[in-house]
Amino acid sequence: MAKIQLVIFDFDGTLVDTAPDLIRATNFYLESQGLDPIPEATVRAEIGMGLRKLILDVFPKEMQSEANRRRIEGDFLKIYEREYLHSPALFPGAREFLTEWEGAIAIVSNKRARFIHPILEKLGIHGLPWTRIIGGDTYPNMKPHPEPFLGAIQAAGVTPEETLIVGDGTPDVAGALALGSRCAAVAHGYQDIEELMDLGATDRLESFHELLPLIRKIT
């Protein structure tokens, strides 16, 4: 079994709890359109697939028009830019792992990269030695396509077999399976961990306090 050299983290729902700000922004936008708010669980379930998927589900008919899609995305982003730094928080144990782990670390997210960097700054971890910070707009393809994962893997100079992908959504598990990497599903995420294990996640994390022992165990 290959020794893990690189840990790739998903962002929303895995490394950072960003849901409260996204839920608030979504419902502020709906209110501005004279629409009823949607349940928190609905927003959480869509976060991992990116903003466009969320908007598509909320406005399926309007999104069939390119002009409407651009207008809706633009209007929503104005609100999200106002709200997204209100209350992001690292999940318990994440900071401890990031400071104790001596291998490479990277972020591969479907969130726009321009939102990731300020959140990391606010949380005081932007200055860590990230191999890559990859957003949903960094490459032509988003997760679960292997391209963004390979960007981080190649930058670290390791192989997919030496990589552990930590995530909370289908794109993370599907990407890991396509690459032949291990994937640890987190219990605190926005998608049910049992669903992720059924999809093929190789490991489960009840908290980040288990991550370092897991790496030592599997290598």
Which residue numbers are catalytic?
Answer: 10
Q: What is the C-alpha to C-alpha distance for residues 29 and 36, in angstroms, rounded to an integer?
A: 10
- Which residues, other chains included, contact 65 with Cβ-Cβ below 8 Å and sequence gap of 6+? none
User: DSSP assignment of 73-128, as one string?
Assistant: HHHHHHHHHHHTTSS-EEPTTHHHHHHH--SEEEEE-SS-HHHHHHHHHHHT-TTS
User: DSSP assignment of 17-79, as one string?
Assistant: E-HHHHHHHHHHHHHHTT-----HHHHHHHGGG-HHHHHHHHSTTGGGSHHHHHHHHHHHHHH
CB burial of residue 126 (10 Å; 0-12, 13-18, 19+): middle
Q: Are 159 and 185 in contact (CB under 8 A)?
A: no
Q: Pick from 133, 129, 18: which is nearest to 83 by CA? A: 18
Which tokens in the block code for residue 138? 């960094």
